Structure 1
Amino acid sequence: MSESTSTALSGVTRAEYCVIACAEAWRDNGEVLASPMGLIPSVGARLARHTFSPDLLLTDGEAMLVGPDGTPEGWLPYRQHLALVTGGRRHVMMGASQIDRFGNQNISCVGDWERPTRQLLGVRGAPVNTLNNPVSYWVPKHSKRVFVERVDMIGGVGYDSAAAAGPTATRFHRIPRVVSNLGVFDFATPDHSMRLASVHPGVTVEEVFAATGFELAVADEVPYTREPSSAELASIREVIDPRGLRDREVRG
């Protein structure tokens, strides 16, 4: 795969490629509640709503439904929010302190659970999220400390763990994609192990391999993450994130 010159020609930043990759997670989702956690996923969800997924429901994280620019559009009482969650009508994009080849995610602790070397957030809603509705992940700094052979504690349920638990766990379990500052990953393999789906322009496959703590599935030719359209760039830069906060989370 040759080095892409698209970034230099179009001025698209690495953060904007990450926004596009996150937005694509909600393509063709229909009328579901998008629950992005983090700045880049939030910009991505709003971009999807503003462009190719107009039926998405966006929340301010509290009790309001909002438009792509953050303008309130309606009320989302907590009981209705829970109905969307348990009915599978939500697509979450969470963070991951650790994630392994089968999509098990950890945001709880590093090291042995009884005596961890680092205490993190706790499992939060990760188990319920992953067993009730689609969950994607966003990792702003791709490294072997995050992409690990096996997570220290399972919060978000991966494909192997769901299969081991049986039909009640696999019925609604789905991990559409993982997006990092280096590329896009999915689980479109026979054993549902992680696959490198695309690299962001300016990144090589070898860089991704070197920053990953397990062997990734990969095709003979790995494409670049798609280019944003001029309309999408205008939406990102002028409507959704005019202050350019995205570039604080992901630098080129």
Structure 2
Amino acid sequence: MTATRAEVCVAACAEAFRGDGEILAGAMGGLVPSLGARLARATFEPDLVISDGQAYLVDAEQAVEGWLPYRAVLDLLASGRRHVMMGPVQIDAHGNANISCIGPWERPKRQLLGARGAPGNTVNHTTSYWIPRHAPRVLTPRVDLVCGIGYDRAASAGYAARFHEIRRVVTDLAVLDFAPAGPMAGDGGGGCGGVGCGGGVPRMRLASVHPGVTVDQVVEATGFELTVPGDVPTTPAPDPEALRILRDVLDPAGAREAEVPGG
């Protein structure tokens, strides 16, 4: 079975949760990251705790497993026991993200969600991002309003941002992570996973390109200079069992394809 681009993106979102264990997973950036969290739960992360986004805990097939009052979410959030995947309208090279408005905040051209929980999420626990349209106006040199903080601002915050980690940015073209700036950048290793983890403030790095996508395409579609290792791998497609679960159990209607067309 050959995976579509959308299915590769779902698998990449699932991989962002690998190793998390028994923490609360929140996927609020669209259908693809939601399917990713559920696929992770159904395959390699069985202890992952998933919320329906309202008041209940659910399994991979969205059957109710328990009750999760909002006060409990705040307790988990403040202790670092949560990993969310959000959908920014803008993100810069250090991971500062905007979900609030386009244009100056005093008189924006477009009003969006508002900052909502982004500041607390990025300060208090692991955050990843899903971007369904990789473009220079989204991956931009400067965001119009910082809602979720990036590695530069987290470094300035010191101990208050001790749980800060931007683990992955998954787009319709590629998977991106963050590597220390300076001599350590582009060494082909794993993501930074912490504030100022050696070699300077981490910057966004190209971790893999999706099947059929070239490095040049990703670079051209990014509005700032990416760190590009010498050898960029291809994003792995879901294995046959994961693909079966995704197609037959989690999303039999194929709604994922509408979020990443043309794959």
* Coarse TM-score class (shorter-chain normalised): over 0.9
2:237 alignment partner in structure 1: 227
User: What does 1:33-44 align with in structure 2 at a 5 Å threshold?
Assistant: 33-37=24-28, 38-44=30-36
2:190 is matched with which residue?
none
Match in the other structure for 1:81: 73
**Counterpart residue number, 2:96:** 104
Aligned to 1:26: 17
1:128 pairs with one of 113, 116, 120: 120
Select which of 156, 168, 172 maps to 2:148: 156
Cα deviation for residue 100 of structure 1 reads 0.2
2: distance between equivalents of 1:181 and 1:227? 13
CA distance in 1, matches of 2:57, 2:94: 33
Whether 1:95 and 2:87 are equivalent positions in the alignment is yes
Q: Which one of 164, 177, 185 corresponds to residue 168 of structure 2? A: 177
Kindly indicate whether residue 190 of structure 2 is the aligned counterpart of residue 198 of structure 1: no
> TM-score when scaled to structure 1?
0.94
1:31-70, aligned counterparts within 5 Å? 31-37=22-28, 38-70=30-62
**TM-score, scaled to structure 2:** 0.90
Q: 5+ residue gaps in structure 2?
A: 181-198
Secondary structure (helix, strand or coil) at the match of 1:185 reads: strand
Which whole-Å deviations, capped at 9, do the CAs of 1:190-232 have from their partners, x for residues lacking one?
A: 3300000000001100000110000000111100001211100
How many angstroms apart in 1 are the aligned matches of 2:101 and 2:142? 13
Q: Is 1:15 paired with 2:30? A: no
Matches of 2:109 and 2:57, distance apart in 1? 39
Q: Partners in 1 of 2:75 and 2:3 — Cα distance?
A: 39
Distance (Å, rounded) in 2 between the aligned partners of 1:168 and 1:81: 19
**Equivalent residue of 2:206, what SS?**
strand
Is 1:242–2:252 an aligned residue pair?
yes
* Distance (whole Å) between structure 1 residues aligned to residue 115 and residue 225 of structure 2: 26
Residue 248 of structure 1: SS of its match in structure 2? Answer: helix
| Distance (whole Å) between structure 2 residues aligned to residue 198 and residue 223 of structure 1 | 5
Q: What runs of 5+ residues in structure 1 fail to find an aligned partner? A: 1-9
- The percent identity for this pair of structures is 60
Deviation at 1:11, TM superposition (A): 2.2
Three-state SS of the structure 2 residue aligned to 1:92 is strand
Q: Deviation of residue 64 (structure 1)?
A: 0.8
Aligned residue pairs, count: 242
SS in 2 for 1:194: strand
Alpha-carbon RMSD across the aligned residues, in angstroms, is 0.9
Q: Deviations over 1:18-69 (max 9, x none)?
A: 0000000100101000000110000000000000000000111111111111
CA distance in 2, matches of 1:83, 1:32: 12
- Structure 1 stretches of 4+ moved >6 Å: none
User: Deviation at 1:111?
Assistant: 1.3
Secondary structure at the counterpart of residue 186 of structure 1: strand
Shift of 1:165: 2.6
Tell me the distance in 2 between the aligned counterparts of 1:78 and 1:200: 37
Q: How far off its partner does 1:112 sit?
A: 1.3
